[in-house]
Amino acid sequence: MAGDVRQPAFVLVRPQMGENIGAAARAMWNFGLDHMRLVSPRDGWPNPQAVAMASGAGRLLDEAWLVESAAEAVADCDLVLATTARVRGLTKPVYSPERAMTEAQARIAAGGRVAVLFGPERAGLENTDVALANALISVPVNPEFPSLNLAQCVLLCAYEWRRASAEVDGLRMEMAGADWASAIEVEKLAEHYEGRLEEAGFFFPEHKAASMKLTLRNLWSRMPLTSEDVKTLHGVLRQMVRWKERG
């Protein structure tokens, strides 16, 4: 993994302008964060405009992970936070940046890995991206003028990360020997249920299937699952299938 793992990865999902990627890199490095991941930047990668804008923080771009999907970008993380301007029809905790970075700090202190998702400039994250997240981050902007740009949103989260790390240095979380499930474990759990329930005819009627799948994925990602919980839930489903197969 590039950079220091004792910090969150900031994941720019389908960013559009190279300048904004560069400005985001600067904003991160202003507060000591240097682990960036890029999901399908619109104009390809590397991007000369990004490099020009990042001056002084260009190393972050050189070391950034380039991936195809948001799911891939967060696969190794066990706490995924998604910044969003508007609150959606999904049941999730909504954190202030301060609370979110305090959670991130605690999780990392406990040995976990954290990703923070930032959406494309105009549209923001899509629901399928948001469904990967354990919680949302909402910046308490003026409702009459909620026009934060990408780099500003990154700046505020990075700033709160630094505040949180200064304050809770040394804090640990008691896990009773358990580990948090990683995003890839939760993803595989979601796939397992989705696959078997598809066979079982759960996603019916057809026109509701997509939203039923999203609801179920959102349910798994929102739960504070440990690796043990995930094993138990796989076991539950496997046993039901064995029962069916015994007929």
- Kindly list the distances between the CA atom of residue 212 and the CA atoms of 43, 157, 158, 193, in Å, as whole numbers in the listed order: 34, 32, 35, 12
Q: Nearest approach, Cβ of 131 to a second copy (angstroms)?
A: 13
Which residue lies nearer to a second copy by CB, 48 or 224? Answer: 224
Given 6, 62, 126, 173, the residue binding a second copy (CB under 8 A): 173
**27 forms part of the interface with a second copy (CB under 8 A):** yes
Stretch that binds a second copy, among 4-12, 29-37, 41-49, 68-76 (CB under 8 A): 29-37
Handedness of CA 218, 220, 224, 226 (dihedral sign): negative
Stretch that binds a second copy, among 6-14, 40-48, 105-113, 232-240 (CB under 8 A): 232-240
* Euclidean distance between CA atoms 38 and 178, whole angstroms: 31
Window 100 to 159, contacts with a second copy (CB under 8 A): 102, 136, 139-142, 144-148, 152, 155-156, 159
**175 forms part of the interface with a second copy (CB under 8 A):** yes
Q: Nearest approach, Cβ of 34 to a second copy (angstroms)?
A: 9
* Euclidean distance between CA atoms 64 and 12, whole angstroms: 10
- Kindly list the distances between the CA atom of residue 237 and the CA atoms of 86, 149, 159, 192, 246, in Å, as whole numbers in the listed order: 35, 44, 43, 8, 14
235: three-class secondary structure by DSSP: helix
Task: Print the binding letters for residues 86-105 with a second copy: x by CB under 8 A, - otherwise.
Answer: -xxxxxxxxxx-xx--x---
Q: Nearest approach, Cβ of 68 to a second copy (angstroms)?
A: 29
- Kindly list the distances between the CA atom of residue 231 and the CA atoms of 179, 186, 222, 236, in Å, as whole numbers in the listed order: 12, 10, 17, 9
**172 forms part of the interface with a second copy (CB under 8 A):** yes
Cβ-contact 61, 54 below 8 angstroms: yes
Q: Nearest approach, Cβ of 101 to a second copy (angstroms)?
A: 10
Query: In the β-sheet with 79-83, what is the strand arrangement from edge to edge?
Result: 65-67, 36-39, 9-13, 114-118, 79-83, 135-137
Tokens 């590397």, located at residue: 46
**233 forms part of the interface with a second copy (CB under 8 A):** yes
Given 122, 123, 176, 206, the residue binding a second copy (CB under 8 A): 176
Tokens 């489903």, located at residue: 237
Given 16, 51, 215, 234, the residue binding a second copy (CB under 8 A): 215
Window 50 to 89, contacts with a second copy (CB under 8 A): 56-57, 87-89
Q: Please give the size of the binding site for a second copy, defined by CB under 8 A.
A: 77
The pair of structure tokens assigned to 186 is 């939760």
Question: 116 — phi, psi (to 5°)?
Answer: -120, 120
Given 52, 171, 209, 210, the residue binding a second copy (CB under 8 A): 171
Stretch that binds a second copy, among 12-20, 42-50, 112-120, 215-223 (CB under 8 A): 215-223
